Amino acid sequence: MNRPRPNNTPVRSWLFVPGDSERKLAKGGESGADALILDLEDSVAPARKPVAREMVPEYLRAHPARRPQLWVRINPLDEGGLADAAAVVRAAPDGLVVPKVNGPDELLRLSHWLDALEARDGLPPGGIRLLSVATETAAAVLRLAEYARTPVPRLAALTWGQEDLPAALGATGNQDASGGFALTYRYARSACLLAAVAAGAQPVDTLEQDFRNEAALRAACAAARREGFTGKVAIHPAQVGPINEGFRPTAEEVTFARRVVEAFAANPGIGTVGMDGRMLDMPHLRQAQRVLAMDAAFGG
């Protein structure tokens, strides 16, 4: 199956769907998510994993147009991940979500496997991309800086997890007394953001567990986008709409960005312009151009 590589538009909403549920796979495809993550790992009971390993490739083959993008979360590399990859690559997913990754060297090892599997199945070399869940062990958090020094050509995105890390640390929870993330998890989140940007990958924020609390989800999306995240994980179709809206520039931002670009265009050859009593320079222009590109990518 030969198909063009997707463009570099960030994926706003990444919806997890259990790979062994026909009903949830169907609902996921109707959710409006930018990407579905067909899960072979935590949302599938151990006894059902062989079933999911058969159902996911069938779903991929039945949906060749790939709107939304279709990714597969495999099991950890030392817990059946290679067998998962061998089973699904033949059906040409857009990418693999790799859990419990301790560092970029593990992704490079998986990349070598994918080289062979793509050759086996006649797929474009390097076409299957990777999203690393990069903070699920203590070692993984401490090694995040290595993503800036060790290029992984297939790496499309990094995200962080709020559940596996407390378990790995022996913590009783991930919140502080105020109900927000405790320091350790705020550090992991920030380090993941920095590592993703340094590696040229998309930084993806973690999930919100209460899928019924739309107000909290919208607030979390707004905060994440202010910090630099460009997408967020969803665990229920009801979360997709607010996430898609939350990671798209607002009308006010688009209007301001157009004015910035126009101000620089009207003054070619200079590095700063004045607008609304503010001095704007090249970083403001680049940010404005990013806002307009993002708006155009999502149908502006």
The domain that holds 122 is classified in CATH as 3.20.20.60
Residue 162 shares a structural domain with residue 131: yes
94 in a structural domain: yes
- Does 164 carry a binding-site annotation? yes
Residues of the domain holding 207: 13-246
Q: How would you classify the pairing of strands 231-234 and 202-205?
A: parallel
Residue 7 lies in a domain: no
> Residues 69, 186: one domain?
yes
99 with 115, same domain? Answer: yes
Q: 48 labelled as ligand-binding?
A: no
In this structure, are 260 and 190 located in the same domain? no
Q: Residue 39 forms beta bridges with which residues? A: 18, 73
At 300 the pLDDT is 58
Residue 299 φ then ψ, to 5°: 90, 25
> Does residue 258 sit in the same domain as residue 232?
no
One domain, residues 55 and 121? yes
Give the count of domains, the chain: 2
282 in any annotated domain: yes
Read off the pLDDT of residues 63-97 as tens digits, 9 standing for 90 and up.
987 779 999 999 999 999 999 999 999 999 999 99
Across the range 210-228, mean pLDDT stands at 95
Average pLDDT over residues 241-265: 93
Predicted local distance difference test score (pLDDT) of residue 227: 95
Q: Can you tell me which residue has the tokens 């992984």?
A: 152
Tokens of 65: 């147009």
With residue 69 as reference, give the H or E element that holds it: strand 69-73
Q: Which residues of 150-185 are buried (b: 16+ CB within 10 A; e: fewer)?
A: eebebbbbbbbbbebbbebeeeeebeeeeeebeebb
CA 22, 28, 31, 34 dihedral sign is negative
Main-chain phi, psi angles of 107, to 5 degrees: -70, -35
Query: Are 175 and 98 within one domain?
Result: yes
Give the integer Cα–Cα distance in Å for 161 and 61: 29
**What value does the mean pLDDT take over residues 36-45?**
95
Q: Across all residues in the chain, what is the average pLDDT?
A: 93
Q: What pLDDT score was predicted for residue 19?
A: 95
Question: CA 165, CA 188: separation in Å to the nearest integer?
Answer: 9
Residue 164 lies in a domain: yes
Q: Do strands 273-275 and 231-234 pair parallel, antiparallel, or not at all (unpaired)?
A: unpaired
pTM for this model (two decimals): 0.89
| Statement: residue 138 has pLDDT above 70 | yes
Residue 199 shares a structural domain with residue 227: yes
Listed residues 246, 261, 285: the one ending a domain: 246
For residue 259, say whether it is annotated as part of any ligand binding site.
no
Evaluate whether residue 95 is within a structural domain.
yes
172 and 260 belong to one structural domain: no
pLDDT for residue 1 is more than 60 = no
Q: Are 240 and 281 part of one and the same domain?
A: no
Residue finishing a domain among 222, 246, 270 = 246
The number of beta carbons lying within 10 Å of the beta carbon of residue 276 is 8
- So what's the pLDDT on residue 2? 39
Whole-number pLDDT of residue 5? 41
* Nearest residue to 186 via CA among 225, 213, 160, 216: 160
Query: Which among 43, 109, 33, 119 has a CA at the least distance from the CA of 75?
Result: 43
Q: Is residue 29 part of a domain?
A: yes
Asked whether residue 5 is assigned to any structural domain, the reply reads: no
